[in-house]
Amino acid sequence: MKASNKTIVITGGGNGMGREIVLNLLAKGARVIAVDVNETALQQTAKLAGDKAGNLTTAVLNITDKAAVEAFAQQTITTTGGVDGLINNAGIIQPFVKVSKLDYAVIERVVNINFYGTLYMTKAFLPHLLQRAEAHIVNISSMGGFLPVPGQSIYGATKAAVKLLTEALHAELMETNVKVSVVFPGAIGTNIMANSGVTSNMPKPEDTSKKPVLTPMPPVKAAEIIVDGMEKNKFRIYVGNDSKFLDFMYRVAPGFAINFIAKQMKSLLTE
């Protein structure tokens, strides 16, 4: 589905990769509804939109609130006259700790945002999308959705759930007008840790004494890959060579791949 002249809703549009997807879509001539829980972040996205801001609408929404999501969907459909695309980008990571040390409150927050938020948005918009001449759903999973990462077990489980949900949607909707894509970003240079309320001993950019575990891709490049994949109706969209490589390795030699990533991530894991 080409972005031009389409109306597309995106969650997590206030910063990071979500913000860059918003700006990319606007540049391609789309009308965008950017959703985020952070109003200040949305205002910054609108400011960065510049002369394209006239095609941007922002909405503060807690995607874990099912009733609020359903009300938002109905209001958006009525106000815009029709929505053609949904990009479920919002997500958070967990603290870099083992499951045994992870609080239930943190677990529930990660599950609610990453999985239920995606599910609620999809359920709320899908009946309408099925009535459009052409429509597309893009769900952001993660490299951690197909490869287990120590210290991100719950995050990975939610992204694996998003992966399977999206794959099942693809199968269910194959004979409809709604295309479905699942995205597997590798390391992306965003502020997801700060937005998730997470700290770690990951090296800071100015710390040249420590080699980064993975070289992050700039979010503007990640956004370009995702939007391009949507426009080409790709089912699976891999963002970054790390994602492609580890997906291949996990298929060929899962034990080796797990040991490899465990060694790479060991320094970030809090006991």
Q: What is the pLDDT of residue 261?
A: 86
Beta bridge partners of 181: 138
Nearest to 176 by CA among 228, 129, 123, 122: 129
Q: Is residue 238 flagged as an active site residue?
A: no
> 149 or 204, which is more confident?
149
pLDDT tens figures, 195-204: 666 655 444 4
Q: What is the pLDDT of residue 255?
A: 94
Nearest to 177 by CA among 230, 137, 223: 137
The gap between the terminal CA atoms of the chain, to the nearest Å, is 46
CA–CA separation, 231 and 127 (whole Å): 21
pLDDT tens figures, 88-113: 999 999 999 999 999 999 999 999 99
Supply the CATH classification number for the domain 7-268: 3.40.50.720
What percentage of the chain has pLDDT greater than the value 90?
Answer: 85
Q: What is the pLDDT of residue 268?
A: 74
The H or E element that residue 88 is part of is strand 85-88
Q: What is the pLDDT of residue 204?
A: 46
Provide the residue ranges of all domains of the chain, joining segments of one domain with +. 7-268
Catalytic residue among 104, 116, 120, 155: 155
Q: How confident is the model at residue 249 (pLDDT cuts 50, 70, 90)?
A: very high
Nearest to 143 by CA among 129, 155, 133: 155
pLDDT tens figures, 58-83: 999 999 999 999 999 999 999 999 99
